[in-house]
């Protein structure tokens, strides 16, 4: 008789099911390890050292820093599970940090956390888990993996809308989703902290990470300036007709849709319309000039079998992580890795380099990076 599936979906006892848990040192991944260890799974904790351990040792509230590695090691000891620290610093620099700096140099507004999930955690770490003979890789993300038609896994928003992290996981492929597990997807944060207290974990009241791990205090410009000194060259602030209105000290200090901190007074509020990195120009204008009803996506990842219908599909889309999803129709692009979104109502401040993440209700269908408008892409502008 085939045994009933265990809580992770495998037809064998938990004790015969090996699970690698990606342990960042925070409360979420620590509770995942605790839950699985309590159920009797063969749990192995892995923490990635993603950037300089010595420089990071004093920084709290950022994943994969020195203190967090120390915390993850202590949690593993408390739970009685093996724990390994893997040096992924060079991979992280090449796959995430360098592109982050280059994207800002091109006048975009990048999201390195998505690239980290795509190129490090769900690629390199996932392969390491396979090499260790694990049946799956579990993380502390607040998303839900739900079996849909035919028993194929789907990715859905986390049950707690305040914690949902699906936007940052849109690059997850169908093959990766087969292997991944998200035990916290149906929980909210207070419940997770209570579980951590019950497990006797010192990280139960540890603050959530607020910054990008390699960007101290959210000062993106300083990090980019250190990596690419030419990025802080001064330039002009101009209106849409090219009239010079003022000066700036680096295009990396601006993002499309920005209103505060421009430093130009006028009869009406001015917003950043686009960034021309080649000319070192910040183009500003009234809010109405930001209106977009069409958005192109590049590097498309689509989770639904069959692809996007040629006649289009009605969806909702998030154009920034902190903004609510809006109604749209998605159409296939001119190449398999592109798509076009026709927004039902115009949106303002759609920024190249951010992600357009597409949903059907709570189900994540896929998404892509927001591309520059055709007119800007065909010129030197980096709007």
Q: What is the pLDDT of residues 133-154, one digit of tens each?
A: 999 999 999 999 999 888 899 9
- pLDDT of residue 58 exceeding 60: no
Residue 6 lies inside a defined structural domain of this protein: no
Q: Verify that 132 and 203 share a domain, yes or no.
A: yes
On whether residue 134 sits in a domain, the answer given is yes
What mean pLDDT, rounded, does the chain reach? 89
Spatial distance between the Cα atoms of 248 and 230, rounded to a whole number of angstroms: 14
Whole-number pLDDT of residue 383: 36
User: Could you give the number of structural domains in the chain?
Assistant: 3
- DSSP E strand stretches across 303-349: 313-318, 326-332, 339-347
Q: What is the pLDDT of residue 337?
A: 94
> In degrees to the nearest 10, what's the CA dihedral of 293, 297, 303, 305?
80
- Is residue 8 situated within a structural domain? no
Instruction: Establish how many alpha carbons lie within 13 A of residue 225's alpha carbon, considering only the half-sphere containing its beta carbon.
Output: 12
Range of the domain at 267: 233-288
Q: How many CB atoms lie within 10 A of CB 311?
A: 8
Sign of CA dihedral 171, 174, 176, 182: positive
What's the CATH number where 315 sits? 2.40.30.10
Q: Are residues 337 and 359 in the same domain?
A: yes
Verify that 248 and 332 share a domain, yes or no. Answer: no
Residues 169 and 203 in one domain: yes
Residue 245 pairs in a beta bridge with none
Place of tokens 């990396």: 252
pLDDT: is 364 or 121 the higher one?
364
17-41 pLDDT per residue, tens: 999 999 999 999 999 999 999 999 9
Residue 201 has pLDDT above 90, yes or no: yes
Same domain, 151 and 163: yes
> What pLDDT is recorded for position 375?
46
CATH code (residue 266): 2.30.30.280
Query: Both 170 and 244 in a single domain?
Result: no
What are residue 37's phi and psi, to 5 degrees?
-65, -40
Rounded distance between C-alpha atoms, residue 367 and residue 353, angstroms: 13
Examine the domain organization and report whether 259 and 323 are in the same domain.
Answer: no
Interacting residues of 341 by C-beta distance below 8 A, sequence separation 6+: 294, 295, 296, 297, 317, 328, 329, 330, 331, 356, 358
Question: Is residue 280 domain-resident?
Answer: yes
Mean pLDDT on 326-343: 96
| Tokens (6 digits) for 208 | 């959530």
Question: Residue 225: inside a domain, yes or no?
Answer: no
Asked whether residue 165 falls in the same domain as residue 244, the answer is: no
Give the orientation angle of helix 98-105 with respect to helix 220-227, to 10 degrees. Answer: 100
For the residues 269-284, what does the mean pLDDT come to?
Answer: 91
Same domain, 96 and 36: yes
C-alpha–C-alpha distance, residues 213 and 112, integer Å = 9
Q: Please choose, from the candidates 160, 161, 183, 180, the residue with its C-alpha nearest in 3D space to the C-alpha of residue 169.
A: 180
Distance CA 67, CA 61 (A): 9
* CA–CA distance, 335 with 154 (Å, rounded to integer): 25
Whether residues 32 and 86 share a domain: the answer is yes
Under a CB-based contact definition with an 8 Å cutoff, are residues 31 and 199 in contact? yes
Q: Report which listed range, 40-44, 215-219, 268-272, is most confident.
A: 40-44
Q: Is 77 within a domain? A: yes
Is 64 catalytic? The answer is no
- What DSSP string runs through 3-66? PPP-TTS-SS-GGG-EEEEE--SSHHHHHHHHHHHHTT-EEEEEEEE-S-HHHHTT--SSTTSH
To the query of whether residue 116 is one of the catalytic residues in this protein, the response is yes
pLDDT one-digit tens code per residue, 75-106: 999 999 999 999 888 888 888 888 888 888 88
Pairing label, strands 363-370, 292-302: antiparallel
* Given 63, 64, 113, 116, the catalytic residue: 116
Do the domain assignments include residue 326?
yes
**Local structure of residue 209 (DSSP, 8 states):** P
């Amino acid at each position: 008789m085939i045994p009933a599936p265990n809580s992770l979906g495998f037809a064998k006892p938990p004790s015969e099911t090996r699970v690698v848990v990606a342990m960042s040192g925070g409360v979420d991944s620590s509770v995942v390890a605790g839950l699985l260890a309590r159920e009797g799974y063969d749990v192995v904790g892995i923490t990635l050292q993603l950037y300089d351990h010595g420089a990071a040792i004093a920084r709290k509230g950022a994943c994969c820093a020195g203190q967090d590695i120390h915390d993850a090691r202590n949690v593993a000891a408390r739970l009685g599970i093996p724990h390994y620290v893997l040096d992924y610093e060079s991979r992280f620099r090449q796959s995430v940090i360098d592109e982050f700096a280059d994207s800002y140099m091109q006048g975009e507004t990048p999201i390195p956390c998505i690239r980290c999930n795509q190129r490090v955690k769900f690629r390199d770490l996932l392969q390491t888990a396979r090499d260790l003979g694990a049946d799956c890789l579990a993380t502390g993300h607040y998303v839900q993996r739900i079996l849909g038609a035919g028993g194929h896994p789907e990715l859905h928003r986390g049950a707690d809308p305040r914690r949902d992290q699906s936007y940052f996981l849109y690059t997850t492929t169908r093959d990766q989703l087969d292997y991944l597990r998200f035990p916290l997807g149906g929980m909210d944060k207070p419940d997770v902290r209570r579980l951590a207290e019950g497990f006797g974990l010192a990280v139960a009241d540890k603050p959530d990470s607020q910054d990008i791990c390699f960007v101290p205090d959210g000062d993106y410009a300083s990090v980019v300036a250190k990596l690419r000194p030419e990025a802080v060259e001064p330039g002009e602030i101009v209106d849409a007709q090219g009239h010079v209105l003022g000066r700036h000290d680096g295009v990396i200090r601006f993002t499309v849709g920005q209103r505060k901190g421009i430093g130009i007074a006028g009869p009406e509020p001015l917003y950043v319309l686009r960034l021309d990195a080649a000319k070192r120009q910040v183009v500003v204008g009234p809010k109405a000039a930001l209106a977009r009803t069409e958005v192109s996506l590049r590097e498309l990842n689509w989770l639904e079998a069959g692809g996007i219908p040629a006649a289009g599909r009605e969806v909702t889309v998030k154009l920034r992580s902190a903004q609510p999803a809006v109604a749209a129709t998605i159409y296939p692009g001119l190449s398999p890795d592109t798509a076009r979104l026709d927004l039902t109502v115009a949106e303002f401040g759609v920024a190249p380099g951010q992600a357009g993440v597409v949903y059907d209700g709570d189900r994540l269908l896929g998404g892509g990076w927001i591309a520059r408008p055709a007119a800007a892409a065909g010129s030197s502008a980096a709007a």
